[in-house]
Structure 1
Amino acid sequence: MKAFNAPSTSLGQLDADATAGLIAAAADIALVLDEGGAIRDLAFSSEELAREFDAHEGWLGRPWADTVAKDSRPKVEAMLDQAPARDAPRWRHVNQLSARGTSIPLLCSVAPIGSQGRRVVFGRDLRPVSQLQQRLVEVQQSMERDYSRLRQAETRYRLLFQMSVDPVLILDAESQRIMEANPSAQRLFGRTARRMPGRVLADVFAPEDRAAVQALLATVRSAGRADDVRARLAEGAQDVLVSASTFRQEGGLLFLVRFTVVGDAGQALMLPEAKTKLLKVVEVVPDAFVVTDSAARILTANAAFLDMAQVTSEEQARGEPLDRWLGRQGVEVEVLLSNLRSRGSVRLYASTLRGELGGQSEVEISAVSVMNGGQPCFGFAIRDIGPRLRPPVRAQEGATRSVEQLTELIGRVPLKDLVREATDAIERLCIEAALELTGDNRASAAEMLGLSRQSLYVKLRRYGLGDLGADEGQD
């Protein structure tokens, strides 16, 4: 330890108050001990720290070792027994007990003061450092969990890639060079499979088909998808159907290219001719037709739907939720999906379809749920019924009697009373219809009617519809 060269002249004649101020400023907690190790005085650098030791006055006269945690007493005794150090003081970790019995970590050092055997304990609060260390540990654990999930996901996708029965290649989008080939692709290319990594994709095809493959990759990169291309391999002269998609990895764009081998008879592994004609008919039929995934996001749609939705291309609709255009958002499509999941099909469901440019059509929907690759998907046939008169709704018996009673009141009561009674009858019919459409889901019915749930409950109570006890208890 390097001491001051001339403390008596540089520091001047310091009195006890000035010395105490220096000691208190040098540490978060400062204790003055007598020759026996008992606490004679103490100071804190802040009021907040003093409140942590709210009964510190009781320390005066007690040995310092009695105010620390049991595991820290040997450290305190060792610090007090050692001779005054000429070198730099040794700092030890001590757990100081507060009045509530909790341990507060301090980094302590003991220094002699004066000629009467008294010593000063300098303590630094380690809680900020401990909190930073704890945060560092939590961040490290979080990173390890994320890395573990990434490794598991990579393992799963790697396994799928290796086990795929279709030949699959992964290309660098910039150079179009092959980076990886799964075992099916290696079997397809046979003897040249070992030379596949680093090879340009176009080189594996016959010269007359390379332009078509290049156009496929360019279209997929710009538009996101493209129709499959039929091409012939350069070695073996085997015909294949080539499809491609893009994905990003580590900031770079990659192609995933899949091959479908054409059969020996010269026919690709495609749908039968009758099914192909059916798909063509669905594409040009005047009624809209949409296929969605299990979350009601559009997978494909025909031209009639694009016209009704007022979008210019299928790309603008693909991946978008169906309720962006159909019915009241978040209500009617959810009702349709609920019925499709439970019943498998829905017929003649009346709704509205909104266009991107503000147009609106009254439509009638029939839908069906089918399984595709182990996952459900939904098909919606949507017909514009705006010009067509709807069939009259069959009213319940009580509602029919109310209409007849209103007719009998004409001429007996004022018109405003008749209007009020008719409004109540219509309101009841609308509520009953909404409850029926939503399968008695009152939250969805309230949203469909543009009411709050509380307002719906008031009207249900007014008309005596349903049992309100359970629902009101939940609110």
Structure 2
Amino acid sequence: MNRVVVTQPDVTLVLDWDGVIRDASVSAALAKDGLDGWVGRHWTDTVGEPAGDQVRRMVEDARSRGVSAFLQVTQRFPSGIEVPIEYTTVRLGAQAGLMAVGKSLQAVQELQSRLVAAQQAREQDYWKLREIEMRSRLLFDASSEAVLIVAAGDLRVIEANPAAIRELGMAPGWDFAQEVAPRDRNAFRELLARAREHGRTPGVLMHIGAAATPWLLRVSMMAREPEPVLLIQLAPAMPEPGRGLPRALPPRTDELLEGLPDGFVVADAEGRVRRANRAFLELVQCATQTAVLGEPLARWLATPGRDAAVLMRTLNEHGEVRLFKTTVTGLLGTESEVEISATASTAGGPPAIGLLVRDIGRRPQDDLGDLHAAISQVLRDMGRMPLPVLVRNTAALVERARIDQALRRAGGNRTAAADALGLSRQSLYAKLERYGMHDPRDSDMDAAG
């Protein structure tokens, strides 16, 4: 036998045709006070001010259509409490009146309030986490120790702080295991196994980089999605026992290379930048060294037939390159003519390439460049004209070029140019007329001299 479960609405109002309450009942869970005070009052008088229009609309819809849509209003009870109620109004037949049936939304409202509170708490936790991350980032960047974050799986560098970039020349994407000297790699693998088992390790002496520089290396395991990472801290190690202290400290090579007026770059065997000084950064229009680390040289050397591929092939064949002319294209599109001298080395570690990049576009122009070009043009006519004519034309070209050079060096002052040429001013004027170099609009600059 099926049981029919009958539930009482939270609020039931019996209304006359005009919307005046004739009878009212409420569930015990909603209010304990009687609703006698509502009888004889218009329904709109028992709701909040903004809900009056919704009540009138439900009454009109029930009279005209027989049933109204569900609308939410704020119901005021005699006890003073206000509860959100969702009502629908139906017509009882003919002119018998109307009935409004309401369901309390108080539980939904409380749930919404809890949801909003949870969202606010979550947002506060998010900003606290961001603040912690920001502080950690500041400490990471400001640390005087070289610090690397390395993927636990393939041991490739994920992040490197400025000290690590400066001291080790490492950038994201590099294989840290390849930087460990071969004699220390077994010990390094044991160190990683201990970090995975215990979470962290004490400091262990390792030799890092092409120069096999001794570093005190500490490893810590950190949780991160999608896989854990290793935090590697490197501090300069003291001299090894038996070697003693050096008698005199040599100049810091890092500072000297950083201060070079020409660009200096260290690249790996694949042509990816591992280190760059300030002059190279200015040449390629990058603000920080981090922006170029790990990038291929081909990103900037793009002259057809003289690009990075030709440069690398020449280095592989001969071990060095001298005065290799090409064009460097900066991040903002500026092109600069450069000469590159480079050498390759495999001593003490993985292959490395050192490149000196000189901007030849900044060189002062050769005063005789135009003269050489003009004489070359005359020499092309050799054999096609008599020798006296060839000599006379060549002499005229030399004289014209020398006058033009003297005028440029004198800043246009013809008197000073005539003195430098050993001519009188009248003779200079005559030669200017002969070679078509005189401009009547030019004002003589003798006074300025």
The two structures have a TM-score, normalised by structure 1, of 0.46
The two structures have a TM-score, normalised by structure 2, of 0.49
Hey, which of these two has a bigger chunk of helix by percent? 1
Which of 1 and 2 has greater Rg? 2
Greater RCO (Cα-Cα under 8 Å, separation 6 or more)? 2
